[in-house]
């Protein structure tokens, strides 16, 4: 797993924990919550950051620096050490430096509309937000009328390569969508491997070209509302 993935997963875990900590989880961590509550009046940014860290069993806090407004912690599962700013965490923006000196930024301040943006030496990842935030590049073929949904992701690498996931729905029979993609991709010079089940009204397509530098994967299925869902993964190496 790349450093970017490690940093992204770690930060996402912390953010999700503080928002999803309800019911039994809150009861389990009541001592930490009470401790943080006492600190919120004095230093709300630090209190929120420390609460999220202490509620993650995989985290060991190594050091706090109130002058620099930072906390350093270690992920027990990987041994990776990370430093984050109190204020950045509170605002949904974080600068993270791991034990290798690599720096990453996580910006979730506009996550609802523009997605969460993670930047680092490996490139930039956008995940979540509305469909436009993670829309695939223009070269990725979309079925006519396909309405992209939330939940996609897109990674842009420094060398110009790109990869990602797009999900959409369309009011057309799954067999028709499958046949369209199969024909269209072959006409564009892709080598296509595909299969379709009439019984389940679902199919899969794998397509490659440019000696494997461009790869597409499609899963086509029929939803309970009768519409066809297309889950499309794409990858293009730097040219």
Query: Residue 125 and residue 158: Cα distance in Å, rounded?
Result: 11
Burial 105-126 (b: 16+ CB within 10 A, else e): bbbbeebeebbbbbbbebbbbb
DSSP state of 226: S
Burial 66-83 (b: 16+ CB within 10 A, else e): eeebbbebbbeeeebbbb
Query: Residue 205 and residue 184: Cα distance in Å, rounded?
Result: 12
Q: In angstroms, how far is the first alpha carbon of the chain from the final one?
A: 24
Beta-strand ranges (E) seen in 128-190 are 147-148, 153-156, 162-170
Give the CATH fold of the 130-236 domain.
TATA-Binding Protein (3.30.310)
- Please indicate whether residue 23 or residue 201 has the higher confidence score (pLDDT): 201
Q: Where are the domains of the chain?
A: 3-121, 130-236
Q: Assess whether pLDDT exceeds 60 at residue 113.
A: yes
Query: Residue 134 and residue 166: Cα distance in Å, rounded?
Result: 7
65: how many CB neighbours lie within 10 A of its CB? 11
Which residues, including other chains, have CB under 8 Å from residue 57's CB and lie 6 or more apart?
Answer: none
pTM of the model: 0.65
Q: What are phi and psi of 184, to 5 degrees?
A: -65, -45
Which residues, including other chains, have CB under 8 Å from residue 179's CB and lie 6 or more apart?
Answer: none
Q: Per mean pLDDT, which of 3-7, 14-18, 121-125 is the most reliable?
A: 121-125
DSSP secondary structure, 109-136, as one string: TTHHHH-EEEEETTEEEEESS-GGGGPP
Q: Assess whether pLDDT exceeds 70 at residue 93.
A: yes
Q: What are phi and psi of 98, to 5 degrees?
A: -90, 180
Q: Which sign, positive or negative, has the C-alpha torsion 190, 192, 196, 202?
A: negative
Q: Assess whether pLDDT exceeds 60 at residue 9.
A: no
The answer to whether the CB of 120 falls within 8 A of the CB of 102 is yes
Strand partners, 72: 63, 83
- For β-strands 103-107 and 93-98, DSSP reports them as antiparallel
Query: Residue 162 and residue 70: Cα distance in Å, rounded?
Result: 33
Query: Residue 66 and residue 46: Cα distance in Å, rounded?
Result: 9
The tens digit of pLDDT for each residue in 177-232 reads: 999 999 999 999 999 999 999 999 999 999 999 999 999 999 999 999 999 999 99
Q: What confidence score (pLDDT) does residue 65 get?
A: 93
């Amino acid at each position: 797993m790349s450093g970017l993935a490690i940093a992204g997963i770690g930060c996402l875990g912390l953010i999700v924990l503080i928002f999803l900590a309800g019911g039994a989880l809150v009861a389990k961590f009541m001592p930490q919550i009470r401790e943080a509550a006492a600190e919120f009046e004095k230093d709300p940014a630090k209190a929120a950051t420390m609460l999220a860290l202490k509620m993650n069993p995989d985290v060991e806090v190594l050091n706090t620096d109130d002058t620099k407004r930072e906390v350093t912690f270690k992920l027990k599962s990987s041994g990776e050490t990370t430093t984050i700013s109190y204020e950045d965490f509170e605002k949904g923006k974080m600068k993270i430096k791991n034990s290798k000196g690599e720096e990453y930024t996580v910006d979730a301040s506009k996550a609802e509309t523009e997605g969460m943006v993670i930047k680092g030496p490996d490139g930039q990842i956008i995940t979540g937000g509305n469909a436009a935030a993670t829309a695939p590049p223009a070269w990725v073929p979309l079925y006519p009328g396909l309405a992209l949904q939330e939940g996609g992701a897109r990674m842009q690498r420094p060398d110009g390569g790109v990869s990602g996931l797009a999900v959409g729905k369309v009011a057309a029979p799954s067999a028709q969508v499958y046949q369209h993609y199969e024909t269209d991709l072959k006409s564009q010079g892709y080598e296509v491997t595909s299969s379709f089940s009439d019984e389940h009204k679902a199919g899969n397509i794998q397509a490659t070209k440019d000696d494997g530098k461009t790869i597409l994967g499609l899963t086509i299925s029929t939803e309970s509302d009768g519409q066809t869902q297309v889950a499309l993964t794409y990858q293009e190496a730097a040219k």
